[in-house]
Structure 1
Amino acid sequence: MSSDTELQECEDCLAPAKAFSVIANETRLSILEALWQAPERPVGFSELRKEVGMRDSAQFNYHLKQLTDHFVVRTDEGYDFRQAGKKVVSAVLAGSFNEHPHLDPIELDETCAACGSHLRATYEEETLTVACPDCGKAHGNYPFPPGGLNDRTSDEIMDAFNQRVRHLHCLAADGVCPECNGKMGTTVKKDTENVLGTKVRVDHHCEQCHHQLHSTVGLSLLDQSRVVTFYSDHGIDLCTKPFWSLTWCVGDETTTVLSEDPWRIRVSITLSDETLNITLDADMNVVEIDQGCPSATDAESAA
């Protein structure tokens, strides 16, 4: 290959169909799960066989060899995971392969940015949706693996969802795909397809696996230092505040398109008697910040 950044050909790599056939075996999945649950790794052959519960050493060795070099690695101290093996177990634990749970609607304390009614969270097809049951305005709609519902109260589920969405968009904004770690690009465009019901939206698209995330402009500011400090100065911990309760995150009523070529978009965040105006470019980089008093029509409650 001519470039260090280009993928090198892999003579020992498994084709996807072959890789799935390797792990489509109860014993091999048990080996991966035992390795996952081990208090320390690497794990010796005998100890690993004992945890799996297989008496026949030769048969166990056969299955372990099928996993070695692709899903696990053999070292002088024993066996440990390769990244592919970790992904298999984490997917099983997340419930993506074998769980289809039902979750009753969760009535939320937060209110709709459009009509003021209390919001509701619903779960369907591994997706958690926060929306207004009265006017229908969506406040968030993102994948949430079934495993995230296990052993959690409704409040804990919503807190986990809040943190997950923040994490997904933080990675995407940094150019890292949250699904495959591939290179992710950012594009600002008019929301002519009414994906979010806003004037403009931000699309993150992975060049490798083609995973996509759509968001408002404001959502990219959740971990912006000046925004976090602005809230902290008003006695609010933005890091734990539900994103669906923030008007500037779920819509674009406080978003102003200053220009389209190049893109310059201003998001205005108002708390008490102050407004923080943040101008971003097409890559969601902050190009200007100013702080002052809001107009009477811009006042937003800090609650």
Structure 2
Amino acid sequence: MQADVLGPDYRVETFSLPPDSEGPVVATLVKLEPASPNGRAVLHVHGFADYFFHTEYAQWWADRGYTFYALDLRKYGRSLRPHQTPNYVADLHEYFGEIDLSWWRITERDGHRDVVVSGHSTGGLTMSLWADERRHPEVTAVVLNSPWFDMQGAAWLRSPATRVALERIGSSRPLQEIPRRISGVYGRSLHHLHGGEWDYDLDWKPLESRPIHVGWLRAIRRGHARLHAGLSIPCPVLVLSSARSFFGDVDGEETFTHDIVLDVEQIRRWASSVGTHVTSIAVEGAMHDIVLSRPAVRATAYDVLGRWLDAWVTPAG
């Protein structure tokens, strides 16, 4: 493994996947070793139009003795190549290829037998589906940060007619873009050059997000349908969400204290669908990516996460 763009403490490896219709495909696994390892590990997956740059989150786990791994999925961040349509897949199961290869590295090559699975937003949906289908005994907990459990917005977006249209157009013209207006408010609220706190690569995580294609949205809605039918993740699951959503496209205080991407009521509604041992916590004042919220809010979220791990996951002693 080589040094990562995040610095010498982070090691990175890129591995090849079977090519798709656009050509070669790769995924990238980033690793942070703890100073005092306890043998446990975390595998984290990012959201849409995103990649791993969350060093504070990684260090929090490392300080508890966990080896932290983050996967940049195909066509995202470190794994995006010039010939590719950014962030596109036609089926969320395509991601299982790189998740499985990362899992082999974590459990077989590196020998971890106690692994927490972590996912944010779209990554939360993907990792829920993966954990349910794979049922690996080494998965001891699942932590979901504002997981995308349903289609936000007007009711017609979730109607049977819209579902039929997505299926039809997604089959015939999967790369057709869906028109939408992106204000960039959320991106500006995060990036340190635009009023936020965080320094990250705007080529990998653009302020204006990424185009959405019909085939990709069809894959998401199929994933939602599978989750709504009920998953059976056997281990404890923590679902974190902001206390409130706010849907506006003007910079203001709400952008720093609300989820301005997803509907938090939908997250909480569907949280119990992922398994039988689910804890759902609303974090007051949190942004969409809860671990990028303001410092006091992050401290609250980490306190919640730590107490939950101690109660339900970490063996006594």
Q: In which range does the TM-score fall when normalised by the shorter chain?
A: under 0.3
Greater helix fraction, Structure 1 or Structure 2: 2
**For the pair shown, which has the larger CA radius of gyration, 1 or 2?**
1
TM-score between both structures, scaled by the size of structure 1: 0.25
TM-score between both structures, scaled by the size of structure 2: 0.25
Using CA pairs under 8 Å that are at least 6 residues apart, name the structure with larger relative contact order, 1 or 2.
2
